[in-house]
Amino acid sequence: MLGTLMEKARTVPDSYPLSLNSLMLGCNQKTTRDPLMNLSEPDVADAVSSLKERHLVRENSGSRVTRFEHNFQRGVGVPEQSAVLLGLLMLRGPQTAAELRLNTERWYKFADISSVEGFLEELQDRADEKGGPLVIKLTKAPGAREQRWAHLLCGAVDEAALAQGSGARAVDGAALDRIARLEAEVAELRATVKQLCAELGVAGAAG
């Protein structure tokens, strides 16, 4: 939810702060989200109340409808660049430094990958008196070229569960690719049969 508020503040500023319904729709968005959520308005209202108690969300009552805005950067005590990285990790799950640099372009333009890594390392080495580390560099997955980073805002990361989830998504993606190729081949075969039938002057099969 915090990630959604942070995203909309930067990508659709004219619609920000968000109403409860707009916040729910943003949280339930099916693109650029990991994990996917299916929240109801009462779910969102409860979460907003909890975040308000932690001074991470503020209520804006300047319009007819109550709207909400995040107070993440000040509430957590991090610079803008670090807040951007944490917001993207909340929204899209573990990512490499290169992926983060690409995905944050609409939020903040980092000069290069090394600058992204610098802020990530600062978040990883954050002193205990400031609240402790906020990100962790995950063990390199088999076959991966780079290590991914994950946020620690919800507590310790279960790397085994993350690896299993990544594997399942990879299988799903491979299956979808295979289905798409098969559909393309079927469409091509149908077109060929239709052309042959036309040349031979016979009626083709329906469908």
pLDDT mean by block of 10 residues, the chain; 207 residues: 95 94 96 93 95 94 87 95 97 96 95 96 96 94 89 85 53 54 76 82 62
- pLDDT at position 169, please? 46
Fold for 78-166, please state it.
Arc Repressor Mutant, subunit A (1.10.10)
Strands (E), the chain: 18-19, 57-60, 67-70, 135-137, 149-151
Region of 146 (left: φ > 0; alpha: ψ -120 to 50; beta: rest) is beta
Cα-based angle 192, 194, 198 (whole degrees, multiple of 5): 115
Is 1-74 a CATH 1.20.1270.360 domain?
Answer: no
Residues 167, 68: Cα–Cα separation, whole Å: 36
Three-class DSSP category at 137: strand
Q: What is the pLDDT of residue 177?
A: 52
Total residues found in the chain within this entry? 207
- Give the per-residue pLDDT at 168: 43
Q: Is 181 exposed, middle or buried (0-12, 13-18, 19+ CB in 10 A)?
A: exposed
H or E segment to which residue 185 belongs: helix 159-200
Rounded Cα–Cα distance for residues 48 and 205 (Å): 58
Q: Are 4 and 23 in contact (CB under 8 A)?
A: yes
